[in-house]
Structure 1
Amino acid sequence: MKTSAPSSSIEDYVKVIYSFTEWQDKPITSSQLAQRLGVANSSVSEMVRKLKDQGLVDHKPYSAITLTKDGVRLALSMVRRHRLIETYLVKQLGYSWDEVHDEAELLEHAVSDTFIERMAAKLGNPERDPHGDPIPAADGTIKLPDAHRMIELDQGHTGRITRISDENPELLRYLAAEEIDLDAAVEIIGRKPFGGALVVRVRALGGLREYDLADEVTSALWVHSDSPHPGCLLAES
């Protein structure tokens, strides 16, 4: 008997559960899942029961939700679809990086595996999407860069921006306007007094600039430390 394909709702749920834990170890709760999906807690409870019955999640009442091996496998296939579509929209169709998430949400359920693999080949099998999130390989393997949120970094830390959260399109538009992009070299100068903004020196598209960045911004920027000597990245020509 042929197993039916998972519904788009199931695909969305496992993808959100995976994405929540991709960059941190804390598992997602039912209320957090409901908030991210924009649905009622009762709807989440019903779907989580269904996911558990299908062997996609482990969950006990009043505890966090974790994916099983089968759940992770399905989630990574959906993450691959989503991020490849985002990349295609930006590189081939001229979308800006703040526009692609919602489009990819619609398209990822509608196209075939063959379409996705031909899209990947057309793009040269990219390893990350326009926001720096890693794209899982066709076999489900994924390589996360060694990176930390900018808000967690100490004064004098240097590195490169390797990931920018795509949760807030307005923030993406702000960063684009300020010419802060992936791979920009950064140095943490310090924090303004009394819990003020984080002062950061960035070699942005327009050259070397200093920014006062709010916590909402620095929480969305992930930095990879690849400099053996403090400040050397910003000394590059």
Structure 2
Amino acid sequence: MITKCNNNERSLIMTKKFSKLIIILSFVLILAACSGGNEGGNSEFELGDPIASVNGVTLHEGPYERAVERILLGYQQQGITLDGENGETVKERVHKQILDQMIQIEVLTQEAQNLGFTPTDSEVQAELDSFKGQYGSDEEYNNALSENLFTEEEFRKIIFEDISVKTLFDEVVADVSVTEEEVEDYYLEIVQEAQQQLDALRADGQELTQEQIAMMAPPFFEEVQEDIYNQLMQQKTQEKQMEYVNKLMEDSEIEMLIEE
């Protein structure tokens, strides 16, 4: 039996953890990761030495190190210290994550190109113009790129990759669906979890008031039906994306040219 709940806003009693892709796709988020940087920075940056080869395409040290620096600057601006042993651990993790991301994005972009899902020059330009329009002048825009260690060519490449991978993923998950039965089963798990928590407290000898019991009760199905549907869609979507990415990575020829 489902105990009635009050009209207060509730979160789901039981939430499911979703696997998350480690891919950073949004070029806006990449630029926003740090609002400042090398003041008056160079407008051109070196590619640097090769760091990896992905199906014959070379990834270079310059963009890799600048991406790492952007993330670390973002951490510092959030008050996260990078000193000492913990700081070194964070830096090592960021370096690994960025390298993994660059390789994955290259693999996915190549697949998008193979399947004809890459954007046109006009589509890339439209996205670039949209972002550029957020600044008051060309000088402010160029300063933002420079301060965040981007050339416009690099930024345009990120937009190209962003659109390519998003279009590819849209195609990959186009057939993902959630049935009404799955939503109901998920809700039943919530109800069962809430009841188990209540039973455990009673087994420990705790006497609960009606108000406490009401607060522990799950919300009505109608109140969370849409949220459950969205959660399940997100879970299935991420699972299918990850499965697709893992398969592409397995089928790709990846050569590391630096020590991880």
The answer to whether TM tops 0.5 is: no
- Give the TM-score category using the shorter length: under 0.3
TM superposition score normalised by structure 2: 0.21
Which structure: greater helix fraction?
A: 2
Which structure: greater strand fraction?
A: 1
- Higher relative contact order by CA 8 Å / sep ≥ 6: 1 or 2? 2
Greater Rg by CA: 2
